[in-house]
């Protein structure tokens, strides 16, 4: 992985491309994030096979139109980051979506990939008519700086909401953003 070059493209992955990259680039990205301490719903050590299975389930959700996935690719086509947007099927919530995962490989951080991925998901959501986005992230994590810089509003903190990769309970901060 070239750690000095920023992503050259951010694109929406269709279900077939998610499946094609599930066992390699996407699984490796998820394993790297969990091994690095990111609270993404998994405990460390995360086995690559488990990460690949999760991405296969994401492809199924994409096929059903429930989840969209964007990937940031480096100059050589390697997956450097991803973001997912999940829509609700509830009639009273069709105006909103949830940023459910934002992952940037540890070796590729600091090049604006997180901001580019977040901007792509926000633009797509607005284009789809969504007017509100929500997300949650571990309190005091580096991700909080990104969300605040991108004009997300903190809505509150819940103590002991989720276990980090080591199994330690951590607080989670909820954020929202109104879209034009």
The answer as to whether 150 is a domain residue is: no
Identify the DSSP state of 164.
-
Given a cut of 70, whether residue 29 has pLDDT beyond it is: yes
* Count of residues in the chain: 180
| 86 touches 66 (CB < 8 A) | yes
The answer as to whether 147 is a domain residue is: no
The pLDDT value given to residue 1: 55
| 85 touches 67 (CB < 8 A) | yes
CATH of the domain at 107: 3.40.630.30
Across 158-175, average pLDDT? 97
Phi, psi torsion values for 17, nearest 5 degrees: -70, -35
- Separation of alpha carbons 32 and 106, rounded Å: 7
Phi, psi torsion values for 167, nearest 5 degrees: 95, 0
Boundaries of domain holding 61: 9-129
Is the omega angle on the peptide bond into residue 37 within 30 degrees of 0, that is, cis?
A: no
The answer as to whether 30 is a domain residue is: yes
Phi-psi region at 129: left, alpha or beta (left = phi > 0; alpha = psi -120 to 50): left
* Cα–chain center distance at 145: 15
The pLDDT value given to residue 77: 87
pTM: 0.94
The pLDDT value given to residue 89: 87
Given a cut of 90, whether residue 139 has pLDDT beyond it is: yes
Phi-psi region at 104: left, alpha or beta (left = phi > 0; alpha = psi -120 to 50): beta
The pLDDT value given to residue 76: 87
The answer as to whether 149 is a domain residue is: no
- Separation of alpha carbons 50 and 57, rounded Å: 11
Helix, strand, coil tally for the chain in percent (to 5): 35, 30, 30
The pLDDT value given to residue 6: 58
The answer as to whether 108 is a domain residue is: yes
Q: How confident is the model at residue 40 (pLDDT cuts 50, 70, 90)?
A: very high
The answer as to whether 157 is a domain residue is: no
Number of domains in the chain: 1
The answer as to whether 146 is a domain residue is: no
The answer as to whether 164 is a domain residue is: no
């Amino acid at each position: 992985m070239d750690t000095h070059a920023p992503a050259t493209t951010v694109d929406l992955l269709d279900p077939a491309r998610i499946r094609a990259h599930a066992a390699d680039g996407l699984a490796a990205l998820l394993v790297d994030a969990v091994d690095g301490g990111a609270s993404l719903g998994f405990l460390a050590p995360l086995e690559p096979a488990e990460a690949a299975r999760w991405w296969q389930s994401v492809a199924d959700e994409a096929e059903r139109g429930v989840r969209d996935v964007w990937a940031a690719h480096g100059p050589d086509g390697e997956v450097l980051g991803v973001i997912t947007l999940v829509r609700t099927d509830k009639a009273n919530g069709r105006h909103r979506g949830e940023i459910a995962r934002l992952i940037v490989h540890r070796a590729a951080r600091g090049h604006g990939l997180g901001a580019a991925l977040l901007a792509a998901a926000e633009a797509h959501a607005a284009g789809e008519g969504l007017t509100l986005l929500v997300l949650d992230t571990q309190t005091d994590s580096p991700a909080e700086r990104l969300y605040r810089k991108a004009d997300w509003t903190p809505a509150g903190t819940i103590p002991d909401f989720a276990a980090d990769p080591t199994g330690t309970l951590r607080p989670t901060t909820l954020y929202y953003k109104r879209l034009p």
